[in-house]
Structure 1
Amino acid sequence: FLFLTFLRNFFTLLFKILFVFSISNLMFGHGAFLVCLENLYKKITGHNLIYTALIGKPSEITFHHAHHMVVTQANSIGISHSVKRLYAIGDNIFTDIFGANLYDRYLARRKLQESQRESSVKRSIEQLLGSETSNWEQHTESCSSILVQTGVYSKKFYDEMLDHSPRDFLPVEEKLRFPKFTVENVAKAVDLVLQKEKFN
């Protein structure tokens, strides 16, 4: 009964939030869902909601999956050499850019661990993946974040650095929210990648 009451209250609140946000023309992602869920759970049970892993942006495991899909797609069209550099294009600094920068840091940490033969576990991605590096992952050097100033991007929110990160990512290192590159739109982002990779 307690759980059903919790669900009813949760969805009632969620629909109210959706209505308010639709009027004000604001957008939010699954981070808002987590905040609502955590707060409602605590209010009803008196305990913090405990989850063991987060899937979805900005979690590194999501970018790891995207990395795997890039390699799989490349192999399916006959590209057999390893992917050295990844580029993550997004319009949201709190999920796309933050997640890409986290994954870039993960790749750098992996490379360091391999060179030093370390097997320390730092974050949940290592716990989920284990200490062994996949063959397709070994040669990837970086994941560069590219912010596009379209979609949910807003200079006001970008400048204010509002904190919408899931609880497990707090406190956020501010430098992880800054993109490596900023361009006007996706077409310019693709042009930038082609330029960086020296495609004419």
Structure 2
Amino acid sequence: MAALGEAAARWAPGLWRRAARAAAAFGGCRFASGSQNPPTFGLLLDIDGVLVRGHQVIPAAREAFRRLVDSQGQLRVPVVFVTNAGNILQCSKAQELSALLGFQPLPRNEFPAIEGVLLLGEPVRWETSLQLIMDVLLSDGNPGTGLATAPYPHLPVLASNTDLLWMAEAKMPRFGHGTFLLCLEAIYRKVTGRELCYAGLMGKPSLLTYQYAEGLLARQAARRGWAAPIRSLYAVGDNPMSDIYGANLFHQHLQTRREGAARSCASILVCTGVYGPRAPGPAAPSPGGEGPPFHGHRDLGFSPGLLQAAHVVSDVHEAVRLVLGREGWAL
């Protein structure tokens, strides 16, 4: 749900880094020893629509993790779960996933202090959250006093999830936090005549999310004492606009940067969530025809070609088989 903390009058530079930890990715799992060479690749796995639908695990996810863990339930390769859902503590989500999928987590119990307005996910009662956020913005962080005129620029607003749609147990996609942001932006414009401005947009498809996830993979490998750098990343997701667009954008970034170990990020689209052969969610643009409606946030640039996944597979089990085969690991 949308997290509304104490609104600070001044922007705190450290919020960028701390919010990225809360909203971008989490990892830190134990890995197994074995005779196989240390991995030079890592997996970035989306959760909703890839591993679970609501509170129900997707059967293919269990099959995938049988290939990714050893007999002691420890992961054989570095894995980071990259999700835009920020309405649960990292440690709680790690414990939930480990119980569903059968691996041993080693989560860090970290959650940032909130300075400013930090929006993590769509709330349960939208009207209440919209009203409270507007109160804070229009009063410059003092909703108990009120101001004659609304301050502008307003307090910093940071959003960690711009997904218009996401997939739960229902057959049709559900409204995501991006839809909530649309409502907030429309209300602020209607009331003030000005545009709501964001100090930052994080979560997929933001580069910051993938840069942070890459760092987690590298630290996992370092903790195991694996000297070989993680060169290849594979990002598995169900939403073309967030998962695939973000992975392809990060791949472009990796082709031009001069520092860092990773050299590529391959996008893998599964058909168990927002995307499907007959799904109403965003699809890749057809050659020579009209592209799909843009489901991304208004402040994000749009390049239709980045919606094209490097690989399209049926589910996460097939995705894992694809990755292990490309890397020459035993299936």
TM-score (norm 1): 0.72
CA distance 1:75–1:178, change in 2 (3 Å): same
**Secondary structure of 2:267 counterpart:** strand
Max Rg structure: 2
Aligned counterparts of 1:165 and 1:49: Cα–Cα separation in 2? 16
Instruction: Say whether residues 1:153 and 2:272 are aligned partners.
Output: no
CA distance 1:51–1:10, change in 2 (3 Å): closer
- Count the aligned residue pairs: 163
Q: Report the Cα offset of residue 60 of structure 1.
A: 0.8
1:50-89 equivalence runs, <5 A: 50-89=197-236
Gaps of 5+ in 1: 12-21, 115-132
**Secondary structure of 1:169 counterpart:** coil
Match of 2:293 in 1: 162
1:6–1:41: 8 Å Cα contact kept in structure 2?
A: no
1:87–1:193: 8 Å Cα contact kept in structure 2?
A: yes
Which letter maps to 1:161?
Answer: P
Q: Report the Cα offset of residue 24 of structure 1.
A: 7.9
Q: Is the strand fraction higher in 1 or 2? A: 2
Q: Report the Cα offset of residue 166 of structure 1.
A: 1.0
2:130–2:184: 8 Å Cα contact kept in structure 1?
A: no
2:270–2:316: 8 Å Cα contact kept in structure 1?
A: yes
**Secondary structure of 2:222 counterpart:** helix
TM-score (norm 2): 0.45
Match of 2:152 in 1: none
| Residues 157-166 or 32-41, more deviating | 157-166
**Secondary structure of 1:150 counterpart:** coil
Q: CA RMSD in A?
A: 2.9
2:205–2:243: 8 Å Cα contact kept in structure 1?
A: yes
Q: Report the Cα offset of residue 99 of structure 1.
A: 0.6
Aligned counterparts of 2:171 and 2:321: Cα–Cα separation in 1? 34
Q: Is the helix fraction higher in 1 or 2? A: 1
Match of 1:177 in 2: 307
CA distance 1:76–1:57, change in 2 (3 Å): same
CA distance 1:192–1:61, change in 2 (3 Å): same
CA distance 1:44–1:9, change in 2 (3 Å): farther
**Secondary structure of 1:39 counterpart:** helix
Aligned counterparts of 2:241 and 2:129: Cα–Cα separation in 1? 28
Aligned counterparts of 1:72 and 1:161: Cα–Cα separation in 2? 38
Match of 2:322 in 1: 192
Q: Of 246, 250, 266, which aligns to 1:103?
A: 250
Among the aligned pairs, what percent are the same residue? 39
| Residues 42-51 or 151-160, more deviating | 151-160
